[in-house]
Amino acid sequence: MSVAAPLERLRSGEAVIGVIGLGYVGLPLCRAFVRAGYRVLGFDIDSEKVALLERGSSYVDAVPDEDLARMRAAERFSATSEEARAAECDALVVCVPTPLTPHREPDTSYIERTLDAVAPHLRKGALVVLESTTYPGTTAELVAPRLAERTGRVPGEGFLVAYSPERENPGSEWTTDRIPKVVGADDPRSLEAARALYERAVVRVVAVSSTRAAEATKLLENVYRCVNIAVVNELKVCFERMGIDVFEVIDAARTKPFGFMPFWPGPGVGGHCIPIDPVYLAWKVKEFGARANFIELASEVNGAMPRYVVERCVLALNDQRKALRGARVLVLGVSYKKDLGDVRESPAIEIIGLLRERGAQVAYHDPHVPRLGRGRAYRLDLESVELTPERLASSDLALVVTDHGAVDYRLVVEHAPLVVDSRNATREVRGDATHVYLA
């Protein structure tokens, strides 16, 4: 097969696309490629996930079972754990996790293991696109050299390399195909191939000058959110001391038709992006003798919110002459975002841990998360309980961590003896209730 063959197949739409990592980014991307007419092969090291997908069962909220059924019925999607099948693909898109180490440094081990696994099977001229969020320089300094070493080929000739940051927004109307796609490469042929891959699948492709520029674009997007959320989180603490409702202030400020965009405080930040990605940039810039002071401060402010919420619980219980130790706390919502079942980096995990450390008896209710078992950073053994008047009345405190739309907050306010609300979810129903505290 000639070097040009995969590129020509991408242009014609006849290419086979491999998506590595079938999570909240990879599986929606598979759907977008299938809808674009490609045949898609999904790879994941988790054999249970592969088995579920092959049975037609989706574990990602954004891709319902009926969408998966259509993908399979069209015979354009299948899932596998067999690395050797990478040889079937004209393009491989890498969507694996990029967490932080315990020392809060980038952990690129998932990327490295993926590259090592597929390199022996990489087609000549095939395109490899990294979508995992990471620091500027990862594609040029890690991906291209590692593949070159493992394959004995020259990047841009023997294989093509590009970077395109994922921009998923779970729980919104912005599906993968409707979000403009930034792509960057370090040679013209790789950029041409990346554009050809995505132009069929998304509404618009935005090409930038290099992989570093594309990597930095994603980090800017998340730093922007991280810093602005930190500002309102800090103001929440300040305004509480001053007897001012921060939510009322933000609502009033957002009436200004220019120069202001509302961000909302909460119990911390979650998901893969905001808690982790800005730290990648802050780590990388030190290599160049610079410091990302705003990023580091914003991460510190947001990271302190779970402890602030727990302290508000202590204060609320103290006002009722009760201690947190031994108190029955019902946590409402454990996912990191409203109306989703995703608990990645959710502040609820740390909050539950802190409550337990202080001797509280913790239960939780979440209509989207039936069980909290074991994650990369936690070990819990809890199952969601039913939200009933009796359950609320028997609790010493109901703590709103995630403001799911399916929760009846009027029921919560009427039956819980004490409520701590970190999301302002009770605003429409609490009235002048003195047993509801904002956190």
Q: What pLDDT is recorded for position 376?
A: 59
Task: Indicate the residue among 303, 338, 358 that finishes a domain.
Answer: 303
Q: What is the mean pLDDT of residues 284-311?
A: 94
Same domain, 183 and 133: yes
Average pLDDT, the chain: 94
Q: With H, G, I as helix, E, B as strand and everything else as coil, classify residue 374.
A: strand
Q: Looking at per-residue confidence, does 247 or 4 come out higher?
A: 247
Three-class secondary structure assignment of 111-157:
HHHHHHHHHHHCCCCCEEEECCCCCCCHHHHHHHHHHHHHHCCCECC
**Does the active-site annotation cover 273?**
yes
Catalytic residue, candidates 30, 95, 226, 273? 273
> Is residue 79 located within the same domain as residue 38?
yes
At which residue do the structure tokens 């009770």 appear? 426
- pLDDT band of 157, cuts 50, 70, 90: very high
Q: What is the mean pLDDT of residues 408-429?
A: 97
> Residues 153, 35: one domain?
yes
**Residue 401, pLDDT score:** 98
User: Lowest mean pLDDT: which of 24-38, 52-66, 272-286, 351-365?
Assistant: 272-286
Check whether residue 88 and residue 106 sit in a common domain: yes
Same domain? 256 vs 308? no
Q: How far is CA 375 from the centre of its chain?
A: 14
Integer-rounded Cα radius of gyration of the chain: 24
Predicted pLDDT of residue 1: 55
User: Which domain-ending residue is among 155, 176, 209?
Assistant: 209
Tokens matching residue 111: 């990327």
pLDDT digits (tens, 9 = 90+) for 180-204: 999 999 999 999 999 999 999 999 9
Per the CB < 8 A criterion, the answer to whether 400 and 383 are in contact is no
* 318 alpha-carbon distance from chain centroid: 36
Distances (CA, A) of 293 to 19, 104, 115, 278, 433: 36, 16, 33, 11, 41
* Closest of 271, 272, 274 to residue 263, by C-alpha: 274
Rounded Cα gap, residues 306 and 355, in angstroms: 10
DSSP state of 88: G
Is residue 204 located within the same domain as residue 233? no
**Residue 199 token pair:** 């132009």
Residue 368 has pLDDT above 70, yes or no: yes
Question: How many distinct structural domains can be found in the chain?
Answer: 3
Mapped onto helix, strand or coil, the DSSP state of residue 341 is coil
Q: Under 8 Å CB-to-CB from 19, ≥6 apart: which residues?
A: 26, 27, 29, 30, 33, 40, 41, 42, 43, 92, 93, 95
Check whether residue 44 and residue 95 sit in a common domain. yes
Place of tokens 């609502």: 251
- State the number of CA atoms in the 13 A half-sphere of 77 facing the CB: 29
Given 146, 175, 209, which residue is the final one in a domain? 209
Domain containing 324 equals: 304-439
- Indicate which CATH number applies to the domain containing 287: 3.40.50.720
Q: What is the DSSP letter of 385?
A: P
